Amino acid sequence: MAQNGDVVATEYPAEPSSEQYSLFRRYLDSRHQRGGMSDMSVLDYAMMVEDTHVNTRIIEYRLRAEGDGLAEKGKGPLIAAALTDKMGDGLSMVYSYFDPAHADRSLGSYMILDHIRKAQARGLPHVYLGYWVKGSRKMDYKTKFLPQEHLMARGWERYAGLEETSPESE
């Protein structure tokens, strides 16, 4: 959190912008060249953002620019964004992405911590981190945020860390 003290987070209605898409494209081209989303067009991106039947917001993270002062809306460069659903019991991080040029800031983890802070401020008990695939290096960062519950075939099960064993593995 401290290393991103110069970042301003602003929440907006779920409306796509060309600036967001450019950042999204840089993120995909750098981190997910062969993933299922790698060929998403600007129209696909717009549909991902706008096609919702729940309370979806986009949170933009910008570097504080000279003259921003303590303004709630930053005017500096867009360095990260999160498409977020507001649920009855928490915030669901549908998709987040960041500028690969700022990878040293750990913006993915920062956005999760920011969502935890936002959920707490709203009195919401949960932050949903989205899909997690065991063994996926690109998703392992999610396991750092404990405690967790994972939705399994039998319902929500508590997950305390990688060293935890399930009854099936014993």
| Overall pTM surpassing 0.85 (yes/no) | no
Q: Are residues 44 and 116 in the same domain?
A: yes
**Residue 34's CATH number:** 3.40.630.30
Q: Are residues 139 and 119 in the same domain?
A: no
Chain-centre distance for alpha carbon 82? 5
pLDDT score recorded for residue 166: 45
Q: Are residues 141 and 77 in the same domain?
A: no
Residue 69 has pLDDT above 70, yes or no: no
The pLDDT mean for the chain works out to 85
Full DSSP string of the chain: -GGGTTEEEEEEES---HHHHHHHHHHHHHH-TTSTTTT--HHHHHHHHH--SSEEEEEEEEEPPTT-TT-SS--S-EEEEEEEEEPSSEEEEEEEEE-GGGGGG-HHHHHHHHHHHHHHHTT--EEE-----TT-TTTGGGGGS-SEEEEETTEEEEE--TT---GGG-
What is the tally of structural domains in the chain? Answer: 2
Q: Are residues 126 and 138 in the same domain?
A: no
Q: Are residues 126 and 139 in the same domain?
A: no
Q: Are residues 26 and 61 in the same domain?
A: yes
Q: Are residues 61 and 140 in the same domain?
A: no
Q: Are residues 110 and 150 in the same domain?
A: no
Q: Regarding beta strands 148-152 and 55-63, do their DSSP bridges make them parallel or antiparallel, or are they unpaired?
A: unpaired
pLDDT score recorded for residue 156: 86
- Rounded Cα–Cα distance for residues 67 and 94 (Å): 32
Q: What confidence tens digit (pLDDT) does each residue in 117-142 have?
A: 999 999 999 999 987 777 878 778 88
Q: Which residues form the domain of 23?
A: 2-130
Q: Are residues 39 and 123 in the same domain?
A: yes
Burial (CB count within 10 angstroms: exposed 0-12, middle 13-18, buried 19+), residue 164:
exposed
Q: What confidence tens digit (pLDDT) does each residue in 20-46 have?
A: 999 999 998 887 666 556 677 889 889
Q: Can you tell me which residue has the tokens 């959920």?
A: 119
